[in-house]
A and B are shown apart, each in its own frame.
Chain A
Amino acid sequence: MPEMTLVQAINEGIRFSLELDPSVVVLGEDVGKNGGVFRTTEGLWDTFGDERVIDTPLAEAGIIGASIGMAVNGLRPIAEIQFMGFIYPGFEQIVTHAARLRTRTQGQYPASLVVRVPYGGGIRAPELHSDSTESLFVHIPGLKVVVPSTPYDAKGLLLAAVRDPDPVIYLEPMKIYRAFRGEVPDREYEVPLGCARQVREGEDVTLIAWGAMVPLAEQAARILAKKGISCDLIDLRSLYPLDEKTIIGSVKKTGRAVIVHEAPKTAGLGAELTALIDEHAFLWLEAPVTRVTGFDVPVPMFALEDDFRPNLCRIEEAVDQVINF
């Protein structure tokens, strides 16, 4: 089985989608000849041509608005927004239209489209390039939000997202675009939306993470294992809908949960997960659910980004806290 990076696996997912379904088109800034600023769409323009892999004007509302119109008229667009910090001009199109066209038309126009967005920090990117505002999208009824953290999932989730009947925000953790390689089957397969991945089995505490926080939490779990603490690590993969069964099942087993995300704490997805655990596993809890998150400050310029983002030390401290509660 070929081994590839996350970014290559996403490329594979897009390539398969374009090959399998003639109604799929890719559009965005620099996605064509340049192959994307991260090279995510590398080679696709050469293979599928200018009509299916489209360099657009620099206009996020235009890209997403056009994608919705294309979906209404029978295409399956994969729109790329270059960085999450730049998605906001297109936010209105997502919130007022993509998310609710199905409801507003009683199922007549479901707005089946994918918006791909590199997100998160950790790569010393210029100012305003490192946002992690996934909870803005998770909060909007009608949207689905997914984040792969392995090359295998990146391809499978992308294929599933493109075929999904609902609009999907597909977030790509830039930090791990090229951090490691993993096995990716050279065939068509789907990783279903709404299913978390059990990364590691453990008994003492549940760690919940997604995106670039997964390898960090994994590393923390390895260190904690040496100290005799075994972690049940869950990679959410799907931020909406949530895989409640896996989350609740794990917390009922361990009685403790630590949620790790790089978005700021207040009203981040960690708050929703905490409430979910509270509603469904309260009597199983041995300690309050604890969050390790970015601080409630604007994402800093990169000189301070390591201080802003969760790190091993903070995860270990949080685990200690819930174990010794």
Chain B
Amino acid sequence: MVDLKQMERVGIQLVRPDGHLTETGRDVWERMPEDRKRAFYQWMVQVRLFDRRSVTLQRQGRIGTYAPMEGQEAAQVGSALALGKEDWIFPSYREHGVAMVAGMPLDRILLYWMGRVEGNRAPEGVRVLPPYVPIATQIPQAMGAAWAAKMKREPSVAVAYFGDGATSEGDFHEACNFAGVFRLPVVFFCQNNHYAISVPFSRQSAVPTVAERASAYAIRGIQVDGNDVLAVYTAMEEAVRRGKNGEGATLIEAVTYRRGAHTTADDATRYREDSEVREWTEEKDPIARYERLLMEEGLLTPDRARKWEQRCRETVEAAVKEAEAAPAPPPSHLFAHVYKDLPPELVRQRRQLTGGDETHA
């Protein structure tokens, strides 16, 4: 359970914004395999470049309205890397980083933002649900999936990803409450990026942290610096371990910042000060601090960083090409999966749409 006295506003931090490890951070670091240390960096760069490219694609009219996640790379990559293939992910619409790490192909993520349902479907063995658009509705479902895992005696957790705005919804409360009552292996992962579109966290909650709400449900609550990939990973790893050990649910609050607008249809300058954005961009950037750490530890050179960036750009471009080359779905696909077997009225409506041409049905 959360210890309010020990909890600082910024939460647990293992890598300081200047790239230096804290004392505990050093311990964690020493025990961490090298490929994992690299994976944090590689994924964060990949995710950021994908995100920036997506914003450009939207401006060019090549994808629809897009929800940028720049600034939240550490929260997403750090948490997703702590999950196994057996774990379930119930994301919101800003979790492209999580989805990518979990195995969602980049071109499918792009297809989603091109308004295509194919982008919702994860490959076989990738337990990522489609983005949940109505706020907080994924949280009770993650709780239910975790419940099923518990009943089936399967060692897996379900993770609900959501933002600070979602904590005002009843669904958040109901899910936390069930999870506490039934001691379910679920992780509630809140990226507190400070704004629900334009409304600041102070308008969502009179208590200063999301994490402390956990005590009301007798689940574990923990606040981490969401821009510290090592801290996020460590918190998530522990939450997953506890879940699988039958120790119940954890509410993780990753304190981070949505650097861009809510979506490409939003103008964040209407409600945020430049100085605030600058502070989070220049002083608290999740990638810059980790890059510094890796370089100091001799795991990264500027040259290798450039090469990796180049490779990521190529990966993104290949995904863009793939997504844009995907053949348009036939109109009959409207009816493809509404029911397992189409009722007569829907068969008629499909015929009406296709003019009787059922070849692509």
Contacts and interface: CB of A to CB of B under 8 A. Distances in A.
Given A65-B171, A65-B174, A66-B178, 6 more contacts: A59-B178, A64-B140, A69-B147, A69-B148, A104-B120, A105-B337
A102 B129 contact: no
Nearest to B178: A62
A33 interface: no
Contacts of B130: 104-105
Interface string A256-274: 0000000000000000000
Contacts of A61: 140, 170-171, 174
B338 A106 contact: no
B344 A241 contact: yes
Contacts, number: 136
Interface of A: 25, 51, 56-57, 59, 61-62, 64-75, 77, 89, 92-93, 96-97, 102-110, 141-142, 144, 165-166, 194, 240-242, 244
A241 B147 contact: no
The CB with the most chain A CB atoms within 10 A, among B117, B142, B158, B178, is that of B178
A73 B88 contact: yes
B143 A66 contact: yes
B55 interface: no
Contacts of B121: 105-106, 108
Nearest to B341: A165
Contact of A74 (B90, B148, B343): B148
Contacts of A93: 137, 140-141
A92 B134 contact: yes
A59 B149 CA distance: 21
B306 to A, nearest CB: 39
A62 B174 contact: yes
Q: Give the dominant DSSP class at A's interface.
A: mixed
Interface residues of B, number: 42
Interface of B: 88, 90, 117-118, 120-122, 129-130, 132-134, 137, 139-149, 151-152, 158, 170-171, 174-175, 177-178, 181, 336-340, 343-345
A234 to B, nearest CB: 16
A68 B141 contact: yes
A195 to B, nearest CB: 12
B144 A57 contact: no
A141 B337 CA distance: 11
B290 to A, nearest CB: 34
Q: Which of B121, B134, B146, B339 has the most CB of A within 10 A?
A: B339
A62 B337 contact: no
